[in-house]
Amino acid sequence: MVAAGGRFSGMSKLLRLNIDGMHCGGCVTRLSNTLRKLEGVELRHAEVGAAELAYDDQRISGEDIAAAIERIGFQVTGTSE
């Protein structure tokens, strides 16, 4: 399976995240930049309080994605696949 945009192949999963601690467009930019740097992650959409992405579960886990978000000062409060 190939994710939209074709950035990676293999098994890909959609992940929707609820994120606390975001207050403005600058927060969205910081989140977006962080997610785009993660190997095996394709950001689909980000807004204050939420993000949607596709990821290659052979290269990165949902827990690793959440940990990267928390390292930049936000808190993942919920996920759905």
13 versus 11: the higher-pLDDT residue is 13
**The CATH number of the domain where 4 resides is what?**
3.30.70
Specify if 20 maps to a domain: yes
Specify if 81 maps to a domain: no
pLDDT band at 11 (very low <50, low <70, confident <90, very high): low
Q: What is the pLDDT of residue 10?
A: 55
> Angle at CA 70, nearest 5°, toward 76 and 68?
105
Looking at the 3D structure of the chain, how many domains does it have? 1
Instruction: Give the pLDDT confidence of 55-81 residue by residue, as tens digits.
Output: 999 999 999 999 999 999 999 999 888
Q: Which of 2-6, 7-11, 20-24 has the highest mean pLDDT?
A: 20-24
Domain coverage including residue 1: 1-57
Specify if 73 maps to a domain: no
Specify if 27 maps to a domain: yes
Instruction: Give the pLDDT confidence of 16-52 residue by residue, as tens digits.
Output: 999 999 999 999 999 999 999 999 999 999 999 999 9
10/59 Cα distance (integer angstroms): 9
